[in-house]
Amino acid sequence: MQCSLRLKKELERFRTQPMSGISCWPTDNLYELKASVMGPDGTPYENGVFYIDIQIPDKYPFIPPSLRFVTPIYHPNVDDSGRICLPTLKSPPQGAWKPNMNLASILVDIQLLMAEPNFNDPLRSELSHEYQVNRDSFMKHAREHTVKHALQSQNELSGASSDSCNQFSRPSVKHAAEVADLPDPKKKRT
């Protein structure tokens, strides 16, 4: 009960206080969310729309959510299956998650990680090595990957328009507004 009330408040905040380049909305089950993060300006991910699946544990916010990139991303801290290596996604003592953190802060952390990879803790050491040894090559490959995977998703959602930020945020507002009408999420869980 506490978890679902907290989630509803967080999703309502996404609707009433939209964040630039970040959206989050529920699926049919309040504990399975979708999010999108725009690639930060000045990075090879710029103008890309990256979708993320979010699984909320029953003990949220005392246990962190599980996030996974659905959109492929060429990044040293994200593996081929979309898992993200980020301290705020892990409970102490290995991680930095705290119950006062929320989905918005995690999605901001992910956007910051896109702009500033953590080379001390890579999931893909070959990409970390490429960045450190041949940054131009890394940037070229990351940009090509973004164009292939993230811009395609953006174009599908916005009707093939490359100017997407305002058009892109519309689905999340609709979904967030519907959260109050969702059935009890505990009844859907197995």
Residues annotated as part of the active site: 85
Radius of gyration of the chain (CA): 17
Q: Are 32 and 54 in contact (CB under 8 A)?
A: yes
Sheet with 66-69, strands from edge to edge, namely: 22-26, 32-38, 49-55, 66-69
Name the strand (E) or helix (H) holding 35.
Answer: strand 32-38
Give the dihedral of Cα atoms 108, 175, 98, 94; nearest 10 deg. Answer: -70
State the Cα–Cα distance between residues 41 and 171, nearest whole angstrom. 22
166 token code pair: 């305002």
Q: Give 78's strand partners.
A: 84
Kindly report whether the peptide bond that precedes residue 93 is cis, defined as omega within 30 degrees of 0.
Answer: yes
